[in-house]
């Protein structure tokens, strides 16, 4: 096996935790980079940035993404993965994931899915579909648990 890492997307959700758990079982022995991608500005921050003196929102959001990624890496370590955290900011989110995968030479991108379908998927979009479309590498999408 080559030494390329797996890139696991983590946003603090139950779906992301499930992706970490499945990756630990299915991709044994491969080191992991746990990634959280935040937007440079949230909607509320974009309104606040209209002021003449704007706080460093992008820096704060990067710090929050790095902190979430560290929590994800800690969870990954508890299930036996050699994991390191990585935070990023990007719009669109899929681009940040693909850029990080390219940067680390990821063998695979692992991500959880909310399991949206039909009109809801069309309205809200599917991050996993966008990543798979643009990644140029395998993408393992871990579905939500069955009800």
The CATH code of the domain that includes 118 is 3.40.50.620
Highest mean pLDDT among 51-65, 70-84, 113-127: 70-84
Q: Give the mean pLDDT of the chain.
A: 88
What pLDDT is recorded for position 4?
A: 95
The verdict on residue 147 lying in a domain is: no
The verdict on residue 79 lying in a domain is: yes
The verdict on residue 1 lying in a domain is: no
How many structural domains does the chain have? 1
CA distances from 116 to 20, 27, 83, 109 (A): 20, 25, 29, 19
What pLDDT is recorded for position 145?
A: 83
The verdict on residue 49 lying in a domain is: yes
The verdict on residue 65 lying in a domain is: yes
Beta-bridge mates of residue 109: 7, 139
70, pLDDT greater than 70: yes
Name the residue range of residue 117's domain. 6-142
Contact 65, 90 (CB under 8 A): no
pTM of the predicted protein model: 0.86
What pLDDT is recorded for position 125?
A: 63
């Amino acid at each position: 096996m080559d030494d390329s890492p797996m890139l696991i997307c983590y946003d603090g959700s139950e779906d992301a935790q499930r992706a970490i758990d499945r990756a630990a079982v299915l991709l044994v022995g491969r080191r992991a980079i746990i990634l959280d991608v935040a937007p440079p500005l949230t909607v509320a921050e974009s309104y606040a940035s209209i002021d003449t003196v704007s706080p460093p929102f992008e820096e704060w959001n990067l710090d929050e993404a790095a902190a979430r990624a560290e929590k994800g890496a800690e969870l990954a370590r508890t299930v036996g993965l050699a994991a390191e955290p990585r935070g990023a900011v990007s719009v669109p989110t899929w681009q940040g994931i693909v850029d990080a995968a390219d940067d680390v030479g990821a063998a695979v991108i692992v991500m959880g899915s909310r399991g949206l379908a039909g009109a809801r998927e069309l309205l809200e979009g599917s991050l996993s579909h966008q990543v798979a479309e643009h990644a140029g590498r395998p993408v393992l999408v871990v579905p939500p648990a069955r009800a």
